[in-house]
Structure 1
Amino acid sequence: MSEIQADAKAPAQRGAFAPLRQPVFAVLWTATVLGNIGSFMRDVASSWLVTDLSASPTAVALIQTAATLPVFLLAIPAGVLSDILDRRRFLIFVQLVLAAVSGTLLVLSHTGALTVEYLIALTFVGGIGAALMGPTWQSIVPELVPRADLKSAVALNSLGINIARSIGPAAGGLILASFGAAVTYGVDVLSYVFVIAALLWWKRPPATDGALQENFFGAFRAGLRYTRASRELHVVLLRAAVFFAFASSVWALLPLVARQMLGGDAGFYGVLLGAVGAGAIGGALVMPRLRERLDADGMLLLAALLTAAVMGSLVFAPPKWLAVALLLLLGLGWIVALTTLNGVAQSILPNWVRGRGLAVYLTVFNGAMAAGSLGWGLVAQAIGVPGTLVAGAAGLVVAGLLFHRIKLPRGEADLQPSNHWPEPLLAEPIAHDRGPVMIQVEYRIRKEDHAAFLDVMKRLSLERRRDGAYAWGLHEDTSDSERVVEWFFVESWAEHLRQHHRVSQADADLQAEALRFHQGEGRPEVHHLLAL
């Protein structure tokens, strides 16, 4: 058996729950589930309390907006911070902030001083904590499990979120109805104690500062350059923005659906949200069979049709038992969409920029949710909740069918570093902050091959930009038509050295395709020019 075959079979042999045999992962996973249960309980209490404080659909929708807008604004900086700070200490700090938010909500609700303005403001601060925490939690998983268990660990994290989604809202609704908001917020504060204790127990090895470690602004710019140059990521972001902008209508208005249309109380609202989580768990179990019949585009279209069908059915104010069943289907559609889009995004991102690329995806996701929630709240203010649900469902179906033609990337390229670039020749040592750097590559290309060579180089230009170049060009020598010079700029010598480690196997294949046109002896000549 080859090494590749052994690696491919290892996860299956070890089992889906193999990561839980790693003590650190098991403790942190359990603590995360408890923390997410507390967060969902807090969200239920806040979403329901705002209906007590105000009957305005806009005020209700603003709670959803306040929770998701910070992720839209801060996901990319959070992704950068997760790469340059000690992740364990950073997570502890964020957990303390979130505990302080819930503790403040506890005091205000207990004293009767809670207002819509306070609720929205504190929800916004909680959203900031969630924005800072999300990319960091994803980034630590490879530190906790062997490489063979990584995919199973990611799947377990998704399962843990949906376990919390199925338990937290229902438990929060019941505690809220039985004991009031202050106790509900108090339970959430207690959940953060478990998470912080687990993080303190985790003895993370100290990070070693490499000579090429990025600073915040440099890493930020590199992530944005990659995003601008990645056509595949653009497709994922477009499909995500369209889907979540329309699907956000049901989430923004669900508290009003539960109270006004279905005549439920806080406990029933929690049950509805718990049904969404249970449906998501069920969806995670049936998704392997769905993937056998549908590709990623088919899965996303199925999610759109299921979500739209649930929204359209809720318009008729069904019996409560039927509403719970419909929310189970909503959970199925939601997990299919989330897993499909997130999985495609992860499959097209190389390791060195995965955190920042996923942060951009989270920005688009939460931006669509935040803007959509606010927009649908304003629409509901004008035409009512039933009419808004119909509009959202119709838009989701139409958009799902139209954008189905824009195919999601398959994500089959080999993104492992190729490390095939030779080290540049130096007359003397160069300071890492020197720059900008101009790299010139001289090719000998026959005149009749210019058109085909240019087609390949256009694709190669995107690779250069993804890996760090901020400008690129291709020029023909007027005195020698077979001499073609490719040039590109990077911002510093250190950034160019990082390029050497960023080039993937797929990029190496593309470069080899360009080199087949080269007619000179040996490889093209490369020059490195530093600005004076």
Structure 2
Amino acid sequence: MRALRLPRLSSLRAFDHPGYFAVWLGALVSTIGTWMETVAMGVYVTQETGRAEWTGGIAALTFLPSVILSPVGGALADRFDRRAYVAVGSVVQLLLAGVLTVLAFTHQLSVHAVGVVSLLNGCASTLISPAFSAMLVELVPPRDLHSAVSLNSAQYNLGRIIGPAAAGFVLAAGGAPWALLINTLSFLAVLIALSRVRTPPRDMGKVAQNLWKQIAQGISVVRADADIPLMLWATLLVAGLVAPFIGLVPVFAIREFGQGAAATSLLVACQGAGAVTAALVVGTLVDTLGQRKLLGIISLAIGAVSALYWLAPTLPMAATCIVLLGGSYMMMMTGLNSYCQSRVPREMQARMSSLYSMVLGGSYAAGVWGLGALSDRVGLRFVMVTSSVLFLALVLTLRLMRPRRFENASS
């Protein structure tokens, strides 16, 4: 496969590497299917239960395993051939998606079944995600690391645009079973892409140590760094206080605007549009401002934009706000992730990715379920606006107390 040559945009430099582009394209097809399933099941659970607590709880189950399994996944990614390891995990996810598809076509689907499959899929995703992230890093030189991470996020969010739009059409035309079937088949694209790339050989003798010693070594490296702990704290706060807007989109569309799958698909797609747009410019912004300074600016913007989204009185205004929120969220999370990755040697990047995923997934799971449950009792808008304002207040407090930490990175 030929590389895509777009040298003038630093954000797109990772596309100059054929292996990266092949995996990126396969992952995009799979992500489109995943978002079709996410929208279909989000609407299904919200309509079946009528409670944000259930919708948030099901979303949380996908991320909950990261609290326990992320460090294990990071260590395993350094013990096996990453390409083969990701392929095995993708097959497991294909089979789990197939179970949901069969249940839907045979009219045996239930909220509890969706919850069980979501939990198992979360386990599989958590175990292979560090290997996938580390494999992408292996496919590009160090100077293109931020481009690779940003484009991977753009891939995910481009799927967030196409997937919900396709889901809206498929749900209207054939119902949830067909959306689930398309998701099942989409995993084949990842397997085909993996069969066409070769990752650089690694000295497996260096990773023959005990699994738990590998995990402990990764934690030690993080604790010894001057900047990574701050970035992980920032990840925890964003994931717990702001990111739940992702899982609660169906509740917002159905409960606040009195609409269903079409409005849910619109909001999810608009978030993806904002994220993809941000991915195209974030490389240039990093080159101009510096990674640390850009993170400081975005950390202030995201809380305010999140509050505006939840205060939006109409669906068109909410759609406009979530474009900005999606872009801010994408730049914040990819910036935090790539900064952490850049602080550790390559042989530690899978474990760094796993610790980042553990913080992100654990905090998001707690936030989306807890805020969803509280919303059922107090009100969705009030809870989410308060959460957004709390995040903004914490960032402002930290900036006033330690302004230099937002401007300069340690050498």
TM-score normalized with structure 1 length: 0.70
Report what 1:70 is aligned to: 65
Report the secondary structure of 2:209's partner residue. coil
Distance 2:283 2:390 in 1: 28
Corresponding pairs, count: 402
Distance 1:18 1:364, change over 3 A: closer
Distance 1:80 1:409 in 2: 33
Aligned-pair RMSD on alpha carbons? 2.6
Q: Is the 8 A contact 1:252 1:377 kept in 2?
A: no
Distance 1:14 1:146, change over 3 A: farther
- Is 1:324–2:319 an aligned residue pair? yes
Report what 1:194 is aligned to: 189
Report the secondary structure of 2:195's partner residue. helix
Report what 1:447 is aligned to: none
Distance 1:231 1:289 in 2: 26
Distance 1:161 1:300, change over 3 A: farther
Distance 1:338 1:268 in 2: 26
Q: Is the 8 A contact 1:243 1:400 kept in 2?
A: no
One-letter amino acid matched to 1:357: M
Q: Equivalent residues in 2 for 1:10-29 (5 A)?
A: 17=12, 19-29=14-24
Q: Equivalent residues in 2 for 1:497-516 (5 A)?
A: none
> How far is 1:314 from its partner?
3.0
Distance 1:119 1:48 in 2: 12
- Is 1:47–2:47 an aligned residue pair? no
Distance 1:29 1:340, change over 3 A: closer
- Is 1:311–2:302 an aligned residue pair? no
Q: Equivalent residues in 2 for 1:254-265 (5 A)?
A: 254-265=249-260
- Is 1:156–2:151 an aligned residue pair? yes
Distance 1:325 1:308 in 2: 14
Distance 1:295 1:207 in 2: 29
- Is 1:137–2:132 an aligned residue pair? yes
* Structure (1/2) with the larger strand percentage: 1
Structure 1 residue corresponding to 2:180, chosen from 180, 185, 189:
185
Structure 1 residue corresponding to 2:111, chosen from 97, 108, 116:
116
Q: Is the 8 A contact 1:280 1:334 kept in 2?
A: yes
Distance 1:268 1:197 in 2: 34
One-letter amino acid matched to 1:272: L
> How far is 1:257 from its partner?
0.7
One-letter amino acid matched to 1:259: I
Distance 1:289 1:152 in 2: 10
Q: Equivalent residues in 2 for 1:61-460 (5 A)?
A: 61-146=56-141, 149-203=144-198, 208-210=203-205, 213-287=208-282, 290-291=285-286, 292=288, 296=292, 299-318=295-314, 320-404=315-399, 405-406=401-402, 407-408=405-406, 410-411=408-409, 413=411
Distance 1:294 1:162, change over 3 A: same
Residue-by-residue CA offset, 1:285-311 (whole Å, 9 max, x unaligned): 343565545863563453443444343
Q: Is the 8 A contact 1:174 1:270 kept in 2?
A: no
> How far is 1:17 from its partner?
4.4
Larger mean Cα displacement after TM superposition, 392-401 or 327-336: 392-401
Q: Is the 8 A contact 1:78 1:133 kept in 2?
A: yes
Distance 1:332 1:205 in 2: 33
Residue-by-residue CA offset, 1:377-425 (whole Å, 9 max, x unaligned): 1211210212212221221221221233442584453xxxxxxxxxxxx
Residue-by-residue CA offset, 1:156-192 (whole Å, 9 max, x unaligned): 3233222222222222233223221110011111111
Distance 2:142 2:62 in 1: 34
> How far is 1:36 from its partner?
1.4
Unaligned runs of 5+ in 2: 1-5
Q: Is the 8 A contact 1:39 1:188 kept in 2?
A: yes
Q: Is the 8 A contact 2:72 2:215 kept in 1?
A: yes
One-letter amino acid matched to 1:81: L
One-letter amino acid matched to 1:356: R
Distance 2:145 2:96 in 1: 33
Distance 2:90 2:283 in 1: 34
Report what 2:52 is aligned to: 57
- Specify which structure has the bigger relative contact order, considering alpha-carbon pairs within 8 angstroms and separated by 6 or more residues: 2
Q: Is the 8 A contact 1:303 1:336 kept in 2?
A: no
Report the secondary structure of 2:368's partner residue. helix
Aligned residues with identical type, % of pairs: 26
Distance 1:61 1:207, change over 3 A: same
Larger mean Cα displacement after TM superposition, 109-118 or 223-232: 223-232
Q: Is the 8 A contact 2:232 2:356 kept in 1?
A: yes
One-letter amino acid matched to 1:315: L
Distance 2:125 2:376 in 1: 29
Structure 1 residue corresponding to 2:33, chosen from 31, 38, 49:
38
Distance 2:406 2:355 in 1: 17
Distance 1:137 1:202 in 2: 13
One-letter amino acid matched to 1:126: N
Unaligned runs of 5+ in 1: 1-10, 414-532
Distance 1:211 1:299 in 2: 34
Distance 1:23 1:330 in 2: 32
Distance 1:332 1:142, change over 3 A: closer
